[in-house]
Amino acid sequence: MEILFENERYWVVRKPVGILSEQDGGRGLADLLATQNDGYAGVIHRLDREVSGLILYAKTPNEAARLSELAREGSLKKEYLAAVAGVLEAETGELSDLLYYDRARNKVFPVERERRGVKKAVLRYRVENTAEDTGIGKISLLSIEPVTGRTHQIRVQFASRKHPILGDRRYGGPSLPAGIGQKGILLACRKISFPDGNEIREFSIAPEWKTLVFPT
């Protein structure tokens, strides 16, 4: 865990692969932060265990309510970086799907019709780079902005279009290229921004795997 920024109200943390965002019997990221703050750490948005990147945590219940409201109204912006199989037809685009989360299987499925438990998922993407000589075929580097925040949304929306994220075996993704030395999947929350008083706070990172998979 790396704390990129903190003040008296919140933390911005870089989450590694393999740890839960929330509490996990003393092993989750929220557990670790709570030990520094009289037992409290409010999770504002989550990342899957297999995903790395930036997460925002509140230090007080009041701040958690404020930041959560920003997230609900869309003022908390998140940008992800992903390496996916294949080359997309369009350099930029918007994907919209109806998704059903099967809790028993912890897996999300795209469906055709609205029904109980089905939620609409929308994201925007931009192709940043492509590579061919990878040992696993052509791959693409994508910048992704989720409009909605559904479980496994980015993973299943691209997998359902035959562009699964590298390393994401749950959704049919190929194995990682040789020599990467990376656990998890090649998906990271690389930037977050949100209003804070009279300014917009913005934090960004470069995932470790980016230059290894896309050196140019």
Q: Which amino acid is at 201?
A: R
d(CA 47, CA 78): 11
Active-site residue, selected from the candidate residues 48, 97, 133, 168: 48
102 is annotated as an active-site residue: no
Q: Please list, in sequence order, all residues whose beta carbon lies within 8 angstroms of the beta carbon of residue 124, skipping any fewer than 6 positions away.
A: 92, 93, 94, 95, 144, 145, 147
Within 10 A of 87 (CB to CB), how many other CB atoms are there?
Answer: 14
150 neighbors 108 (Cβ within 8 angstroms): yes
d(CA 137, CA 179): 15
Tell me, rounded to whole angstroms, the distance of Cα 38 from its chain centroid: 28
Residue of 145, 114, 139, 142 whose CA lies nearest to 128: 142
Residue of 216, 198, 193, 192 whose CA lies nearest to 80: 192
Phi, psi angles (nearest 5°) of residue 104 = -65, -35
Active site members: 48
